Amino acid sequence: MIKNLFLLLTVIFIFTACSSKTQQINTQKTIKENTLIGSKTTTLKTYETTSKIEKKNINNIQNVSLKEDANIDMNDALMDFYYEWRKVRYKLGGNSKKGIDCSAFTQRIFKEKFFTNIPRTTRTQVKIGKKIKKSQLELGDLVFFKTGKRDRHVGVYMGNGSFMHASIKGVKFTKLNKPFYKKAYWTSRRVLF
């Protein structure tokens, strides 16, 4: 009798544990299936779950904008790239940590962090994506400058009026309103939509 009772309790315990685990998996699956990925301005939906606590937690994130999440992820990716390359010197035609130029720098960022292939030179990079006004700049946009009669320069907009680039002084951040770059500003392009 005790043996049967013990066996029954074990079966009930396993069934309850499995049932609870299955419920958690189904809830997570429902959340995953209903999460919208893509448009930066889409907001998360409210999800149907069986638990009042889960509903409360999900309702707390209901109005979080995916654009904010995308910007945080993009900022993290760009900053990771910066910290990896920040001590690299400038070298015209360079494309390695022994020396890199501005267009190779932007090309590597887009390929390594966003899995997007862009052309190698500044003159070809300025033809891709969508042309945008300086006032419309967003994190990750390319900014272009005419730095001489034939010379062109490119960097990646980082927000708050600054851009990251491989300058003559190496990989660094610079303000767009710095007199030289303010005067040399040419155009901007949005590659990542």
Q: Which residues are catalytic, by number?
A: 102, 153, 165
State phi, psi for 182 to the nearest 5 degrees: -65, -45
d(CA 120, CA 105): 9
38 Rama class: left (phi>0) / alpha (psi -120 to 50) / beta:
left
Q: φ and ψ at 104, to 5 degrees? A: -65, -35
Element (DSSP H or E) covering residue 31: helix 2-34
Helices (H) and strands (E) in the chain, counts: 6, 8
- Is-contact 122 103, C-beta < 8 A? yes
> Does an H or E element contain 189, and which?
strand 185-190
Stretch (H or E) spanning 157: strand 152-159
